[in-house]
Amino acid sequence: MSRLIRMDHSGHTTLAEWTADDPGAVDAAVRAFRAELDQGYFGMVSTGEGHAEQVRELPLDAELVIMRLPISGG
Amino acid sequence: MAVEGLPELASVHWRPLVDERSLNRRGALWTATTAAHVVPFVGAGAVLFAVEPLALPVTLVSFAHAWVIPELYAHRGATVVKPKRPRAGARAETVSVGLLGDLVGHEARELHTQTGLVLERAALGAWLVGPAGALLVRPGGRRVHCYCVRVNDPELPTGDRIAHLLLALRADERGFATVANLAFSGARWRVRRRLHPAVRPALDAAARAARALDRRDSG
């Protein structure tokens, strides 16, 4: 089961869960992912120890996709 | 589809992308600036005392300036990882730390529990990431660059704020160091002295990691 989560004021919120063989869940996850992008979030996927990647499309094979906000110098 | 480089770089488009050379140059510049503050005050104090021993109080004031100014710079650097009281509720903090724990290994998780900072080994050195800043201990462990960098939502729980920075760092280390604002660069011992005592073990761990990186690079 893959998960799309957003880091927010509650700690994090699970926005969608899907498996590749469930088209309805995949559609809902893709819609949720795009809605977050529209809100200004970035999609992040871990790609091994110490590495992450920003994604523009929901990677359906990823176990965990995390939505983060932009960062800036303080 | 993966994205190359941090999108946040667009907001600092005038800055050249940080690399090994630019980090070494910035470090040397900070050392030169420190020397430019210290040498005139020490020199003037010493000359004054040599010419007129009764001017000892003025000499001491001059020496104090030579000591205080670098200390203030180091203090500014150490402040980027100063522990602050969380603004989010206890439950949100717990949830966010749980997610952060999923992103890091056992060693980093333990260090975070102890110090509030996450240790991350990368190409430019060993990073210590906090909720509103990061320290980069360069390979060899002698020099530390202190960066102000944060997610633009201070109400987020601390675990999430660190996770935001960690994910950005892991996606594009050079971009992360470019987006962040350099608050100080100098000797590790100078930063360590100004750190909150609870945070010092994290800097010690990062120094060990940075020394190992140095051995790996030169091996």
Q: What is the pLDDT of residues B110-125, one digit of tens each?
A: 999 999 999 999 999 9
What lies within 8 Å, CB to CB, of B35 at 6+ separation is none
- pLDDT band for B218, please (50, 70, 90 cuts): low
Q: Do B96 and A12 touch (CB under 8 A)?
A: yes
- Report the helix count and the strand count for chain B, using DSSP H and E: 8, 6
Say whether B117 sits in a helix, a strand or coil.
Answer: coil
Residue B98: C-alpha distances to residues A16, B111, B112 (Å) = 19, 14, 12
C-alpha span between B125 and B137 (Å, rounded): 6
- pLDDT band for B170, please (50, 70, 90 cuts): very high
Residue ranges of the domains in chain A?
Answer: 2-68
Residue A62, pLDDT > 90, answer yes
Q: What is the per-residue pLDDT for B132?
A: 94
B122-162 pLDDT per residue, tens: 999 999 999 999 999 999 999 999 999 999 888 899 999 99
Complex ipTM: 0.95
Residue B131 domain-assigned (yes or no): yes
Count of positions (residues) in chain B = 219
How open is the CA angle B177-B183-B187, to the nearest 5 degrees?
Answer: 95
Q: What is the per-residue pLDDT for B1?
A: 63
Residue B217, pLDDT > 80, answer no
User: What are the E-state strand segments in chain B?
Assistant: 2-3, 118-121, 126-129, 133-137, 143-151, 181-187
In this complex, the residue of B99, B155, B170 whose CB is nearest that of residue A9 is B155
Residue B8 domain-assigned (yes or no): no
Q: What is the per-residue pLDDT for B219?
A: 58
Contact predicate B62/B41, CB 8 Å:
yes
C-alpha span between B162 and B156 (Å, rounded): 10
B61-88 pLDDT per residue, tens: 999 999 999 999 999 999 999 988 888 8
Inter-chain CB pairs, A–B, below 8 Å: 115
B196-215 pLDDT per residue, tens: 999 999 999 999 999 998 77
In this complex, the residue of A10, A49, A72 whose CB is nearest that of residue B8 is A72
A1-50 pLDDT per residue, tens: 999 999 999 999 999 999 989 999 999 999 999 999 999 999 999 998 88
Residue B1 domain-assigned (yes or no): no
* Average pLDDT of chain B, as a whole number: 93
Q: Do B163 and A73 touch (CB under 8 A)?
A: no
pTM of the model: 0.92
B90: containing domain: 17-219
- Number of domains comprising chain B: 1
In this complex, the residue of B92, B121, B151 whose CB is nearest that of residue A71 is B151
Q: Do B171 and A52 touch (CB under 8 A)?
A: yes
Residue B6 domain-assigned (yes or no): no
Say whether B13 sits in a helix, a strand or coil.
Answer: coil
Torsion sign (Cα): A68, A70, A72, A74: negative
Residue B2, pLDDT > 80, answer no
Name the interface residues of A facing B (CB cutoff 8 Å).
5, 7-12, 42, 44, 46, 49-57, 64, 66, 68-74
Judge residue B159's burial from the number of C-beta atoms within 10 Å of its C-beta, 0-12 exposed, 13-18 middle, 19 or more buried.
buried
Residue B195, pLDDT > 70, answer yes
Chain B residue closest in CA terms to A51: B170
